[in-house]
C-alpha cells in the first residue's frame, strides 16, 4: 500500500507504506520519520529524531539514560533512581532538614536543647552526617564563657554526635557560617547509629548572653532501614 499525503502543504511531501508488515512513514527525501509495528505493538522513531511532549523535547540519548534501569540501583551512564524506600543500592536515605533557632532559644540552649531532626521511627536507624550553622547577625553579638560550646547530640540529652563549636565563633558582629562535622573515631565518645534516633542542638555548659541573632541550621543525615540490614545474608 502506498499513501501519499499533503503535509503540511504542498504535493507528495510524505510517503507511508507497509514494509514487512510495518507501517513506515517517510519524508520527501526518503528518510524514515517513524514506524508502527502492529505485531510487536511497537512505535519506532529513528536515531537523530526527538520526541516532543507538552513543549518538552526528549532526545534518544536522554531516553536511553532511563532505559533498562532497575529502580534503586546505579548503572553506568544512566540516571540514579530511588527505590520505594528512597534508597539506592540499600545505602540508606540521605536527607536534609532546616531549622531556625530564635534568639530566645539560642540563649537557653543549655537548659532547653532544640530538636533539629525528629525521631525517624522504630524501623530506622539515624546517622548524623554534619550540619551548617549560619548566624544571621542582627545588632548585638553573643557573649560566652569558657566551655559554652555549641554541639549536636542524640535526642533527649543523648551521646554527642558532632565536634564542639567554640562559642567565640559567634561573638562576631557580622554574619557567620560554621561547618559542623560529625565526631571522628574516638574511644571516649560514642558515635553509633541509634534506632528511632534524631538530633538536637545544645550548648554544653552555661548559656550565651546579650546576643540577638537567630541561628539557621541545616542538618545532613542518613536514615538506614533496619530491614535492609536484617536482610543481609
Please indicate whether residue 119 or residue 59 has the higher confidence score (pLDDT): 119
Q: How does residue 11 score in pLDDT terms, banded at 50, 70 and 90?
A: low
pTM for the structure as a whole: 0.69
Q: How does residue 32 score in pLDDT terms, banded at 50, 70 and 90?
A: confident
Write down the domain spans for the chain: 2-64, 93-230
Question: Tens digits of per-residue pLDDT, 33-59?
Answer: 889 998 999 888 888 787 888 888 877
Q: Report CA-CA distances (Å) from 209 to 41, 94, 108, 110.
A: 73, 35, 9, 12
Exposure on the CB side of residue 43, measured as CA atoms within 13 A: 1
Q: Does domain 93-230 have CATH number 1.10.3470?
A: no
Query: Given the DSSP bridges, would you call strands 215-225 and 93-101 parallel, antiparallel or unpaired?
Result: antiparallel
User: Taking a C-beta distance cutoff of 8 angstroms, is the pair 207, 110 a contact?
Assistant: yes
Q: How does residue 133 score in pLDDT terms, banded at 50, 70 and 90?
A: very high
Buried b (16+ CB within 10 A) or exposed e, 117-143: bebbeeebbbbbebbebbbebeeebbe
**How many degrees, rounded to 5, is the angle at CA 162 between CA 226 and CA 181?**
100
Taking Cα atoms as reference points, which of 167, 137, 150 lies closest to residue 110? 150
Taking Cα atoms as reference points, which of 132, 53, 138, 137 lies closest to residue 97? 132
Query: Given the DSSP bridges, would you call strands 42-44 and 32-37 parallel, antiparallel or unpaired?
Result: antiparallel
Examine the pLDDT at 173 and tell me if it is beyond 90.
Answer: yes
Query: Given the DSSP bridges, would you call strands 42-44 and 215-225 parallel, antiparallel or unpaired?
Result: unpaired
User: Taking a C-beta distance cutoff of 8 angstroms, is the pair 93, 85 a contact?
Assistant: yes
Question: Tens digits of per-residue pLDDT, 61-105?
Answer: 777 777 777 777 777 776 777 777 777 777 778 899 999 999 999
- For range 170-183, the mean pLDDT: 94
Q: Is 88 exposed, middle or buried (0-12, 13-18, 19+ CB in 10 A)?
A: middle
pLDDT the model gives residue 175? 97
Taking Cα atoms as reference points, which of 169, 168, 153 lies closest to residue 204? 153
Amino acid at each position: 500500500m502506498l499513501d501519499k499525503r499533503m503535509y503540511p502543504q504542498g504535493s507528495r511531501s510524505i510517503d507511508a507504506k507497509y514494509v514487512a508488515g510495518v507501517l513506515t512513514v517517510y519524508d520527501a527525501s526518503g528518510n524514515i520519520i517513524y514506524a508502527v509495528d502492529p505485531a510487536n505493538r511497537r512505535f519506532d522513531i529513528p536515531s537523530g529524531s526527538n520526541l516532543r511532549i507538552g513543549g518538552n523535547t526528549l532526545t534518544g540519548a536522554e531516553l536511553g539514560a532511563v532505559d533498562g534501569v532497575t529502580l534503586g540501583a546505579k548503572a553506568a551512564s544512566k540516571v540514579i533512581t530511588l527505590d520505594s524506600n528512597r534508597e539506592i543500592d540499600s545505602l540508606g536515605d540521605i536527607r536534609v532538614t532546616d531549622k531556625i533557632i530564635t534568639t530566645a532559644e539560642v540563649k537557653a540552649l543549655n537548659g532547653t536543647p532544640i530538636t533539629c531532626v525528629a525521631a525517624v521511627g522504630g524501623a530506622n536507624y539515624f546517622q548524623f552526617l554534619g550540619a551548617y550553622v549560619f548566624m544571621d547577625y542582627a545588632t548585638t553579638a553573643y557573649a560566652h564563657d569558657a566551655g559554652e560550646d555549641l554541639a549536636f547530640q542524640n535526642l533527649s540529652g543523648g551521646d554527642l554526635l558532632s565536634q564542639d563549636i567554640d562559642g567565640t565563633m559567634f561573638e562576631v558582629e557580622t554574619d557567620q557560617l560554621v561547618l559542623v562535622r560529625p565526631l571522628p573515631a574516638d574511644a571516649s565518645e560514642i558515635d553509633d547509629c541509634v534506632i528511632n534516633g534524631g538530633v538536637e542542638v545544645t550548648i554544653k555548659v552555661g548559656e550565651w548572653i546579650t546576643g540577638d541573632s537567630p541561628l539557621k541550621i541545616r542538618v545532613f543525615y542518613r536514615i538506614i532501614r533496619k530491614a535492609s540490614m536484617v536482610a543481609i545474608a
